[in-house]
Every structure is written in structure tokens, then in C-alpha cells.
Amino acid sequence: MIYVQGEVSGKKYTEPFSKGVLARSLIRAEMNLTKAYDIANSIENKLKNENIEVIAIKDLVEIIVEVLKTVDPIIAEKYINWRKIRKSQEPLIILIGGASGVGTSSIAFEIANRLGIRNMISTDMIREVMRKIVSKELFPVIHKSSFNAYKVMRIPSPPEFDEVIAGYKNQVDAVAVGVAAVIERSLDEGISIVIEGVHIVPGFIKEDLLERDNVVLFTLQVSDANIHKERFYSRSRQMWARRPLKRYLDNFYSIRKIQRYIVMQANKYNIPVIENINVSNTIDYMIKTITKVYGGNNNE
């Protein structure tokens, strides 16, 4: 039996070496299932052949990286970045914003899965909770969709302002209160979480939260209108979809307006804007960015 020694929060531990655990970590670095288990098996054999019975986690990681570099340098780099993020002592809060249809929910699921983050929530869910607390009569804008909130504004926007954006900003400003509460609770309890949705807009998230290295904000966009529109068709074909296609297509012009506004806000506040065409490229960019600002606080 081979044992691995490590340290978490100043406390040392010893646990059996597990090929399954190692293989799963390689899969999260985008190695295919069969290859991941082959590599895990070869590393176990290497340790046995060298008569190693106990190994420090730091030394084991060095062996894993060296083996990966000979097999696939790109996977090796992804594994290193994954390790840096996983070993940080602070909870990681990932915020992903973007207009309807650009893929915030899909990317949130992928990044959470890759980093082993178990908690994920959409801003639509936060807004839904707020709807149950605040009546439609008292605050009507949160009871409409982001692209048609302007229709129920109590005070119409001035003629020089775009009514779609005015209604959207009004709704975002309200939901941002709930978003801040979720972030603050996650930080207090040390829980990593991914929060995604159309209400994650630079300029509406509390500055003191974004100044923290472990709170990272991304904005997604799909510049090509045809590709963006196709996303709604693709989503409507999924068996679990409950969102009517016609409603989004009828409001597509407003959705595109909202995207332009979100991207403008991201540029204004120097928030990364990702062209979300290829999921793998989007995830790789996000992980590299997170590693730069967050992955340095580890014990390895």
C-alpha cells in the first residue's frame, strides 16, 4: 500500500494513494477517461517499482506533472492550473454575466464541474426568490423578463434614454442586492460558488467584493447575431427546455441591445469579455485568468 502525506489548514494528514482520485483530477484537466486511468496506473507502477511506500503530496504532484509533460504538455499545463486553484485557502466566487442566449448557464456548469465547485446559482433564481417576497404591485420590474422590464416601469424613462436599457438597469439594480447577499454569505461560510446570469453586470456589483482576489467576474458575448439567434433554436430543441422560443425571438432585438450594454459596462470597468463560441476555449481562458489572480495562495 502506498500512502500520500499532505497538509490542509496547518493540519497534516496521511491517506492511501488512489488511482481513481488521480484519474478524476486528470479528467478535470480535459484528459479522456481511458488515458487518465492509464496514466494513473503507470504512476502507481512507477511508485511501486521505486519501492516508495509514503510520498508527500508535493513530490507526487511533481511526478504527475513530469509524466504529463511527456504525454501531453497542454494537459500538463491545465493540470498545474487546476491544482493551483484547488489548493487555495479561500473560497472561490466566480461571477459569469451575459445577455440571454450567450451561454452563461452552460459555461457555469462546465467551470463548476472542472473545478469541483458544488454550488451554483443563477440570477434568475435569485430574482424568483425576490418575486416571492416582493409583490408585483410593489415592485413590478422584477416580475418581468430582463428584456421587457421597461413595460412596467412606474416612471417612464426620459425620451433621450433607451427604454429597454432603462428597464433592464432598473431590474439589475434590484437583483444585484440579492447577488451581493449570496456572495457575502459564501465568503463568510467559506463556500465556493458560481453565480451566473443576465444580472451579473459590471458596475452593479459592490466594488469592495470585486476587489477581493477570490471574487472573479467574467462577461460572455456572442458578437455574431445569427450565431446568437441559433443558440435559442438549439436550446428549444433540448428536452428539458421550458423556455418558449417565440418569446425570445420576438424580443431578440432587445436582447442584442442588452448584450451591447453589458459589454460596454465590462469594457468600462476592465472586466474580461469572452467571445463564447468554443466552450473549451472559454473555460481555458477563465481558468488561466483565475489562476493569475487567485491561484497563488496554496501550500504547494
What's the chain's Rg over C-alpha atoms? Answer: 22
Q: How far is CA 235 from CA 105, 230, 241, 245, 253, in A?
A: 11, 9, 7, 8, 18
Q: Which amino acid is at 43?
A: I
Residue-level pLDDT at 300 = 42
Which residues are CB-neighbours of 149 under 8 A, at least 6 positions away? 141, 142, 167, 168, 170, 171
Q: How far is CA 211 from CA 207, 208, 268, in A?
A: 6, 5, 16
Phi, psi (rounded to 5 degrees) for 167: -65, -40
Residue-level pLDDT at 3 = 87
Pick from 205, 222, 201: which is nearest to 103 by CA?
222
- DSSP state letters, 92-145: -EEEEE--TTS-HHHHHHHHHHHHT---EEEHHHHHHHHHHHS-TTT-GGGGS-
What is the CB neighbour count within 10 angstroms for residue 169? 22
Tell how far CA 176 is from the center of its chain.
17
Question: Which helix (DSSP H) or strand (DSSP E) does residue 160 occupy?
Answer: none
Residue 96 CA to residue 273 CA, distance in Å, equals 10
Pick from 182, 173, 100: which is nearest to 142 by CA?
173
Q: Which amino acid is at 98?
A: G
**In order along the chain (300 residues), what is the average pLDDT of each group of 10 residues?**
80 87 84 89 91 90 92 88 79 96 96 92 95 88 92 75 92 96 96 97 95 94 96 76 81 97 97 95 92 61
Which residues are CB-neighbours of 171 under 8 A, at least 6 positions away? 127, 141, 142, 144, 146, 149, 199
Residue 236 CA to residue 250 CA, distance in Å, equals 14
Q: By three-state DSSP, how is residue 287 classified?
A: helix
Q: What is the pTM of this model?
A: 0.82
Residue 164 CA to residue 37 CA, distance in Å, equals 52
Residue 43 CA to residue 254 CA, distance in Å, equals 54
